[in-house]
Structure 1
Amino acid sequence: MLKANNFITNDGIRITYYDTLKSGQPILAVPGIGSSATLWQEAVKLFTEDYRFIIIDPRNQGRSQRTFKGQRISRHAADLAELISRLNLNNIIAVGNSMGAANIWAYVSLFGSQRLQAIVDLDQPPKMIQDSTWHYGFKDLTWKNYPDYLKIDQGNGIYAHINDEMFKKAKIEAQKYPYNAEENYLCRIDHAEQDWRDVLVSLKVPMLVLAGQNSPFFDYHFAYATRELNPKIDTGIIANCGHLIQAEQPLKMYQEIMKFLQEF
């Protein structure tokens, strides 16, 4: 169903991506930090009849190359831009889970939204650090504690049962291509320091924010606060779901996205 491919970025890093190679409108999926394409398998099955589905393994994740280079959101966005250009994708539905959503916002900030039709954010607020202007950050992360806080293992964010076969494949994949959190600490720091509200306020394409009601990382009310930034932003709350919406509740996610896409 998904064919693995590779390309070399302009800074010399091999990036793996998966493509159903179907004609039709492309969905470009971006996993969160430490994750990979494996946990999108059930989502692919739901969308593949009507859409071309593409998943990137971000640098240092999944089957993509491990490197000290580019541990910043802007470089991840550049990798997306290179993939989009390489495949000549247009009218894209960009779907990002966790930091994957931040990668998409960074792409919009740097390269514009001309190639996008819509964005779907899976359980990622536009700001990770809580302060007087934003009360829906990552757990108890603050400007004072974040350098040390992000060194602590935060778990996988899963709340609901994941399809047994997909979970088994993901476990095997993680053992074969392990993610080293310690070596990617600088990427987590860069992710935490960003504030994407200025990008979302001026966003020109529709965006759907889906929050896991039982996410151990974020208070799901962040979705409502994000919606207030721009009339183009819509929201949905996924019940019985943690942080990995595409893996925990793929059918509910699919239904919410399809309803959203039918509105424009």
Structure 2
Amino acid sequence: MSNFVTTKDGVEIFYKDWGSKDAQPIMFHHGWPLSADDWDGQMLFFLSKGYRVIAHDRRGHGRSQQVDFGHDMAHYAADAAAVAEHLDLRNAIHIGHSTGGGEVAAYVARHGIPQGRVAKAVLVSAVPPIMLKTDRYPGGLPIEVFDGLRAGLAANRADFFRAVASGPFYGYNREGADVKPAVIDNWWRQGMMGSALAHYEGIKAFSETDQTDDLKAISVPTLVLHGDDDQVVPYKNAGLLQAELLPNPTLKIYEGYSHGMLTVNADVLNADILAFIQG
């Protein structure tokens, strides 16, 4: 089937692949509970700059198969590897947002660098090293936060997703925010396309996976971008720690930007990512 690749454990993963096959590839990894569609603004921008752009739907998300297994960071990374190997992506830039940032860290460390496929990486509002409060990372969030997400999703996923998108995700709960109803609708649409089970189990994946070793293993140049008003993945326990653990980081913290800055501040972020790629 075109635009699908089957993983080693038999899961059909949907992907988009636009642009010249001779151009340098950029592969995008989306956040929870979204899909490849969340990268529309970036894919069109970088395509116009002469790059080949690829994005896939994580298993259980978007148009990918709604299986009841493998909803963990190791499988997410292996699914990304299946797409990269199927398309034979080399000298690639891998860009991940939120949970997709964890997926990028796992993919680059465990598959990309060993296979010599990755040139650079970009982590945007990303979850590593770990969101959960632990002995190693006492600045993390308590487990009750993530139990609350699970409870909200299980009780009424449609209402819960609407509340996330219209509130903390884009900072639309801040006084004076420039609220865009269509952005909320698009977030909700993407979320509701996916599997409730994949989203429920994905909360554990994005919050409890300690990716310290992944970050330490990423030898390629890595751009770390985070907003200091990120209400979903607080930057002090994420972006700042990523820059400390990565061997070759470039860190940029945006004043007042939200978790969803990739969408609502796309003009700024696209330009900064392009400068990093070309640098």
Q: TM-score range by the shorter chain?
A: 0.7 to 0.9
**Cα distance change of structure 1 residues 239 and 62 upon mapping to structure 2, 3 Å threshold:** farther
Q: Which residue of 2 aligns with 1:102?
A: 102
C-alpha displacement of 1:109: 3.5
Q: Which amino acid aligns with 1:207?
A: T
> In structure 2, what is the Cα distance between the partners aligned to 1:36 and 1:85?
20
Alignment correspondent of 1:235: 251
Q: CA deviation at 1:141?
A: 2.6
User: CA–CA distance in 2 between the matches of 1:147 and 1:213?
Assistant: 21
Q: What SS does the aligned partner of 1:48 have? A: helix
Alpha-carbon spacing, 1:162–1:46, altered in 2? closer, same or farther (3 Å): farther
1:246 aligns with 2:266: no
Q: CA deviation at 1:190?
A: 3.0
With structure 2 as the length reference, what TM-score do the two structures score? 0.81
CA deviations 1:13-52 (Å, max 9, x no partner) are 2111111132311110010121112221111222112211
RMSD: 2.5
Structure holding more helix per residue: 2
**Aligned runs of 1:95-174 on 2, under 5 Å?**
95-113=95-113, 114-124=116-126, 125-137=128-140, 140-142=141-143, 145=144, 148-153=147-152, 155-156=164-165, 157-159=169-171, 171-172=188-189, 174=191
Q: After the TM superposition, which parts of structure 1 deviate over 4 Å for at least 4 consecutive aligned residues?
A: 160-175
Q: Secondary structure at the match of 1:59?
A: coil
Q: Which runs of 5+ in 1 are unaligned?
A: none
Compare 65-74 and 240-249 and name the one that shifted more. Answer: 240-249
Paired amino acid for 2:200: Y
Taking structure 1 as the reference length, the TM-score comes to 0.85
5+ long unaligned stretches in structure 2: 153-159, 173-177
- 1:75 is matched with 75
Question: C-alpha separation between the residues in 2 aligned to 1:248 and 1:17?
Answer: 24
Question: For this pair of structures, how many residues does the alignment match?
Answer: 254
Please state whether the residue corresponding to 2:14 is helix, strand or coil: strand
Letter of the 2:142 counterpart: L
Larger mean Cα displacement after TM superposition, 81-90 or 128-137: 128-137
Is the counterpart of residue 212 in structure 1 residue 227 in structure 2? yes
Aligned mate of 2:218, from 196, 203, 206: 203
